[in-house]
A and B are shown apart, each in its own frame.
Chain A
Amino acid sequence: MYVATKGGEKAIGAAHAWLDEVRRGDPAQPELTTTQVEQQLGLAVDRVMAEGSCHDRGLAALAVKQSRGDLIEAAFLLRAYRTTLPRFGASLPLDTNAMAIQRRISATYKDLPGGQVLGPTFDYTHRLLDFRLAAEGGLPAGAPQGEPDPSPTPRVTELLAQDGLMQREAPEESEPGDLTRQPLSFPADRPLRLQALARGDEGFLLSLGYSTQRGYGGNHPFVGEIRMGEIAVEFVPEELGFAVDLGDITITECQMVNQFKGSRTEPPQFTRGYGLVFGHGERKAMSMALVDRALRSPELGEGSEAPAQQQEFVLSHCDNVEATGFVEHLKLPHYVDFQSELENVRTMRAAAMKERGE
């Protein structure tokens, strides 16, 4: 006689034990430490911090290790941890002007105050597999040290704004909303849009940004500036009333310069698309800046036909933790719904067959 399936709990336990084994791999091999992940897979750690929206290199490295290198799973782990933390308040706005710069490039000017700084970049490497890395051991030759340049590195967009050529951003008076506490409602204002994009999926934003370049809501962007480096985070505790330095973090900022034809009330000038991410994440920062600018199209009277210009579409689908959950939930049993569909299709087929027979 038929007996309904039992023992889900036991099966789940066994599956988890198996997962632990597979994660560890061949026990004859030394175990990977989280410090090694943090040091040697730094860009993976950066991406997990950005999409997990939690700046903690050690925890992000642990998440990468625990998730077997599945970075969306790692971002999910970090997010679930983050949500249990108390919220003390918002830091002061980061002053990216005061960044200790490791990399700074502009595509709009050949040279500019503070100069172009290449920093640690893949950009000009030849993408040839380096078999020396497979043969472990040996330290890299090391980069030559120069004298630190004390001259200031003003932001390109600021230089343009001084001439009235770049639209100034109105400073936010009130503290921006927090989309991890309040559900997003549409239309969402720009601070909330930027928040959603900053924790959005790199691949999704990359493809959307790319689509704007190929004519789906194009806005003729120039990289005004990309800068990456360390920056101080400051916080004003209510009881103290003055700012305290919480420490330095590495961030990447991208400001795209886009033309704006002007409207009845505003003269033609440049407008900016803005991207800012934790760690070294140039691709993400650039994509974010492209999409940010595309999302401003409706308010600048440029239409909202292209996917990247539609905020409900972009903001509702950019979060990879939400997306992966809902896509993967299709693995869960659906046999009750399927059964009702089965009966439905059988009824319709029977009716169709009868009709054909007549």
Chain B
Amino acid sequence: MSTDAGYNFAYLDESTKRMIRRALLKAVAIPGHQVPFGSREMPLPYGWGTGGIQVTAAVLGPRDVLKVIDQGSDDTTNAVSIRAFFRRTAGIATTERTAEATIIQTRHRIPERKLTEGQILVYQVPIPEPLARLEPRIAETRRLHAMADYGLMHVKLYEDIAKHGHIATSYSYPVMVNERYLMSPSPIPAFDNPKMHMMPALQLFGAGREKRIYAVPPYTHVRSLDFEDHPFRPIRAPHACELCGSRDTYLDEVLVDDKGGRIFVCSDTDHCQERQAMKEAAE
């Protein structure tokens, strides 16, 4: 595959990559803590994965195999665009197979297949601050993190139950990392939260517009906030995948006509195809 000769490997210059790696090292050393970094202006728009792209560019090597997903799928427009960006600027191999990838950049999902020690999961993060909707001032939220003063977040969950009878947060569900830092898991569905706990793969989070990096090192404790008598429960549509029959994966709802007809299919397209292939082989 061709690389764009006008740019350094993976677009960013080496000193910028070093700056990002320093931030990543700090982030890994303090799991869940948001590290400010000198986010660069990327040739893709803010809010479209500039943080994830910079993190990927900083950790990418020529022998890496990259997978990019958006909403669990390799074939959504933004995933296609980011994969093409790295093919063009780094000339690295890309894949749609979760098992084959060394780096997986994702927006809004964690793959269904269990990730391994050799893999890095890079999350695109729009709003890194889990307290942002409760306290918009960054200077104040930084103080709350420093003091581990998270009563406010629990008040939000309390209010959910008081109003709705259960915790009504279904994505970007806040987690406590290593029992110290409150962290936003990025807008993944709450269904994916348990996968973060003790994950063998390294999890890196990049927020380009907000200029923050954070991380969850391998085998780190990640707990979704809840109450003893209102425990955290991952939500999924109570159906089976139309294509592979799975009953334990996260499903997308697809409207098939304008009369209320709908089917449910796996959001993780690679996982679904793998299951379909296995089913066929068995038949």
| Chain A residues within 8 Å of B, Cβ to Cβ | 2, 4-9, 11-12, 76, 79-80, 82-84, 86, 180-187, 312, 316, 321-322, 324-329, 332-337, 339-344, 347-348, 351
A187 & B139 in contact (Cβ 8 Å cutoff): yes
A8 & B76 in contact (Cβ 8 Å cutoff): yes
Knowing A186-B139, A326-B126, the reply to whether A340 touches B77 (Cβ < 8 A) is no
A4 to chain B, nearest CB (A): 6
Please give me the residue from chain B that is nearest to A73 by CB atom: B45
A12 & B80 in contact (Cβ 8 Å cutoff): yes
Q: List 26 A-B contacts (CB under 8 A).
A: A4-B272, A6-B75, A8-B75, A8-B77, A8-B80, A86-B13, A187-B139, A312-B136, A322-B46, A325-B47, A325-B48, A326-B126, A329-B47, A332-B70, A333-B76, A333-B78, A335-B253, A336-B187, A336-B250, A337-B187, A339-B237, A341-B170, A343-B170, A343-B237, A344-B168, A344-B170
Inter-chain CA distance A12–B79, complex, in Å, is 11
Which residues does chain A contribute within 8 Å of B256, judged by CB atoms?
Answer: 2
A336 & B109 in contact (Cβ 8 Å cutoff): yes
B171 & A326 in contact (Cβ 8 Å cutoff): no
B47 & A328 in contact (Cβ 8 Å cutoff): yes
A11 & B47 in contact (Cβ 8 Å cutoff): no
Which residues does chain A contribute within 8 Å of B189, judged by CB atoms?
Answer: 336-337, 339-340
- Looking at chain A's contact residues, the main secondary structure is helix
- Other-chain residue from A76, A181, A326 in contact with B47 (beta carbon distance below 8 A): A326
B125 to chain A, nearest CB (A): 12
Does B118 touch A at the CB level, under 8 Å? no
Does B175 touch A at the CB level, under 8 Å? no
- Other-chain residue from A4, A182, A325, A333 in contact with B269 (beta carbon distance below 8 A): A4
Given contacts A187-B139, A325-B45, 5 further A-B contacts (CB under 8 A): A4-B272, A326-B46, A344-B170, A347-B235, A351-B165
The 3 A-B residue pairs whose C-beta atoms are closest, nearest first, are: A325-B46, A329-B47, A183-B211
- Other-chain residue from A5, A86, A180, A326 in contact with B209 (beta carbon distance below 8 A): A326
A181 & B235 in contact (Cβ 8 Å cutoff): no
Does B263 touch A at the CB level, under 8 Å? yes
